Structure 1
């Protein structure tokens, strides 16, 4: 009774306030007043319903992966300045020309890097010579190892490009879309001239509807194996199918099976029994390979929806750092028949993917690719970059998103 009386008094108070407001505000239009009253009634109806407020859905942060984005800032500046210096005629950059290269605002960030990391950058010049910056002797010696890193990268890049084309519905991708993700893939700026012509048995560039497309010339079934399947085979799970004992899913969502994904829930996430049972059914569900044509499957089929997760998993696995900005993933809807609500799909499977808003753009991580803030497996180019940046005394992760592209040296 006391609770009902309190609600009635609140209701009467709100009605009285609305009446006074209507009488004293002649300038207020009727639609605006109706909107205010409607909002009041929403409040009253909500309170008088007697129901509990629904729990707010929280997207749990993974601070280690957020930190991975922060750790890339200084190394990316160091690598970009290295490339600018190497592009100069005499391998040295006049400080007065720095603003012309990077802009007025960014110039001061680079000046701070030059001043701080004297083990990498040497500033010279005198009375008659304008100040300039060049690489130190030790930094220049390590920089020469980049050519060897590119030689090791080339077969990796060719393989990953072929796999990208094999996953697309028509075994072709617009060249401009590949250029859009070339930093994530580790491709050089001029890959269409320096890399593709060297492999005519694999690639061809053809015009389709007035747009240049990269076509796959031949299908290789040995490449139609996902990174997830390779990991399971390495762990001996695929070879033991049919001989393993029945196992239940653990509290962390992981399940030993040929169609299971590696799960890594955030520290603050506490799944209940019902959720874990759903995860177990989903982990056991078989699904078509991402390398089969997506047009063969109905998108409403649960198996096809699980296949979409496998496609996203494989796309991120083919990048150098097992991560890609959400905008770059978003451009491949038609080529891989991705869901229209891609963001919701990624959030739903937060044990597999993580979205961070750190940095200039939101970035999607493949969680299993990281141990804390550190990338587990590094390609030859990332190993070279780490070695170069280590001259500064820094051991943080290096991102290819803000990293300048280089050319493959034959």
Structure 2
């Protein structure tokens, strides 16, 4: 990856003095119509493909571990299928059987004498799960701070639980955060009933020490007095090798970098959404949002409901295409994943959260099970009491089931809030 760092150095809090400058500037410069091409980045694509199936497997581990016997029948696990983001034509039992190094299959009898598959965890998977609980406990303050900062980005310091649930994996929140984390901090968080009758999470107090973006923190060590007065901050920009940035686009990007920077934690209602200054603020919001995630990436559809909470204009996700040097959109695994380029050196995440290390170990355990399964190490003879035929369906009937991931239509626009989200009761 060829990196171009187009920095305008500035003090950590100089942006406050630049707000009025930004107000004046927006009337002089409209939104420039510039389109930059999308170029495949094999290194960042590999980051996405390496984690395929990881999220679904980890969620299933959490669900099984939370059961009294640490073993659940398939029909109990199927109730959570909507959280797994699996292809529609892939049966849950088939997915689970792909990873015998993590899940152990047994059977129980349903009404009428039908044999029903049940799944528990291998000792290796259970050990990793308990290690994850310890890591979450040791880093609980970091987790709380990131949750606070996320809510501080929003209007009213509130997010619907459905929206927050879409981001909990990326934020490193435990699967049952609503019960294991939130109730222990009644001074910070509260569940409220939203006007549309959904349940939301509200931050009760503003923390001024947290209201500083990562870009401001990084730029504080490279400050110049004149830039502090202007309130300008530039984003680290990098392009895939062979990107071939045209001179016109390069000149626009350099000028865009010198525009006033508006903190994502400050009120931006005075900005005209039709200007480059407003666009830079939107870029700053998503730059900070991705910095709050532990993998520095999230699926594009996860931000589809953030327009109103973040006070963003229509078509706000267009900034991902307009700024491919800051964000990379991977189209692997039948979805679009937005990645913060500066956080990676090829495939390597530069700063790893302890939870990331555990997830990488879990991913290796998944791959080991796939490899051993392909070698036939998990085949059982007919005399054994447990049958692990990958073509057995969820209630014991022999039917063929495809394990190939279906190629779904990619969605290029996620602009509107979803009015028909399922309700969650308090």
TM-score bin (small chain): 0.5 to 0.7
Q: 1:337 to 1:133 in 2, by over 3 A?
A: closer
Q: What is the CA distance between 1:71 and its match in structure 2?
A: 1.0
Which one has a bigger Cα radius of gyration? 1
Question: SS where residue 364 of structure 1 aligns?
Answer: strand
Aligned to 2:234: 260
Conserved? CA contact 2:153–2:265, under 8 Å: yes
Deviation of 1:348 (Å)? 0.5
Counterpart position of 1:62: 41
SS of the residue corresponding to residue 257 of structure 2 reads helix
Matched, 1:101 2:80: no
Alignment of structure 1 residues 311-330 onto 2, 5 Å: 311-330=285-304
SS of corresponding position for 2:317 = helix
CA 1:142–1:157 in 2, change beyond 3 Å: closer, same or farther? closer
- What are the residue-to-residue correspondences of 1:152-231 with 2, within 5 Å? 152-209=138-195, 210-231=197-218
Match of 2:237, SS? coil
Q: State the Cα distance separating 1:314 from its structure 2 match.
A: 0.8
Alignment correspondent of 1:357: 331
SS at match of 1:289: coil
Give the 3 Å change call, closer, same or farther, for CA 123–199 of structure 1 in structure 2. Answer: closer
Cα RMSD of the aligned pairs, angstroms, is 3.3
Aligned partners of 2:327 and 2:127: how far apart in 1? Answer: 39
| Per-residue deviation, residues 231-252 of structure 1 (Å, max 9, x unmatched) | 223xx213x44499xxxxxxxx
Alignment correspondent of 1:373: 347
Where in structure 1 are there 5+ consecutive unaligned residues? Answer: 1-55, 245-256, 395-410
For 1:197 and 1:131, how far apart are their aligned partners in 2?
A: 35
Q: How does 1:279-358 map to 2 (within 5 A)?
A: 279-358=253-332
Where in structure 2 are there 5+ consecutive unaligned residues? 1-34, 82-89, 108-115, 369-426
1:182-214 Cα distance to aligned partner (Å, 9 max, x none)? 222222343233322222222223334234333
Deviation at 1:152, TM superposition (A): 2.6
Pick the aligned partner of 2:65 from 72, 75, 86: 86
TM-score by length of structure 2 reads 0.64
Distance 1:243 1:105, change over 3 A: closer
Change (3 A) 1:339 1:265: farther
Moved more, 198-207 or 323-332: 198-207
Does 286-295 or 131-140 show the bigger shift? 131-140
Q: Give aligned pairs, total.
A: 314
Change beyond 3 A, Cα 1:333–1:60? same
Contact between 1:232 and 1:258, CA under 8 Å: does it hold in 2? no
- The TM-score with structure 1 as length reference comes to 0.67
More helix by share: 1
Q: CA deviation at 1:224?
A: 1.0
Contact persistence 2:170–2:298 (CA under 8 A): yes
1:182 touches 1:189 (CA, 8 Å); kept in 2? yes
